[in-house]
Copies of this chain bind each other. A is one copy, B any other.
Amino acid sequence: MSQLEREALVRYLEDHQLKRTRQREAILDVFLQSAGHVSSDELHERVRDRFPGIGSTTVYRTMKILCDAGLAVERNFEDGVTRYEIPHEHHDHLVCVRCGRIVEFECTMIEAAQERIATDYQFRLLRHRHELYGHCADCQKIDS
């Protein structure tokens, strides 16, 4: 498993005169096995299990490479930590401010509206950030 991604990484490294190292492959593996939205710190902890002595610096640097290679996407929510997700079709996020749960949603109507707004203001749209913050179903139970 994750064979395709590993090949993509090797290809990217070769194309950019970068070297194929155990650390980089281990980080890719751990990242692909981590469901959801992992932070550099979480990745560092998990890689460390099977690769003691690895520095957090290497995780930061490698995640940047994975993003450049199109194997990871960077996300920033309100807690000041950079998180990474496996690239897939466009979406935005609902974030529970109590438990930290992150749910993805997709809305073509909003996408269309964004395009229209950008056009209205003569902006050339590059990207957007759209996050809804609230309490998830489970966390609402605390109140009652």
- The residues of A with any CB-CB pair to B shorter than 8 Å are 76, 78, 94, 96-97, 103, 105, 107, 109-110, 113-114, 117-118, 120-137, 140
A20 to chain B, nearest CB (A): 32
Q: What is the bound-complex CA distance between A94 and B125, given in angstroms? A: 9
Q: Which residues of B contact A128 (CB under 8 A)?
A: 130-133
Q: Say how many copies of this protein the assembly contains.
A: 2
Tell me whether A118 and B132 are in contact (CB under 8 A): yes
Nearest opposing residue in chain B for A106, CB measure: B117
Tell me whether A124 and B130 are in contact (CB under 8 A): no
Q: Contacts A124-B140, A126-B97 given; indicate if A105 touches B134 (C-beta within 8 A).
A: no
Q: What is the bound-complex CA distance between A137 and B124, given in angstroms? A: 8
4 nearest interchain CB pairs? A122-B137, A123-B134, A125-B134, A124-B135
A-B contact pairs, 10 of them (CB 8 A): A103-B121, A103-B123, A121-B136, A123-B136, A125-B133, A126-B133, A128-B130, A128-B133, A130-B130, A130-B131
Between A118, A123, A140, the greatest number of chain B beta carbons within 10 A of the residue's beta carbon is seen for A123
A123's partner among B76, B96, B110 (CB-CB below 8 A) is: B96
Tell me whether A130 and B133 are in contact (CB under 8 A): no
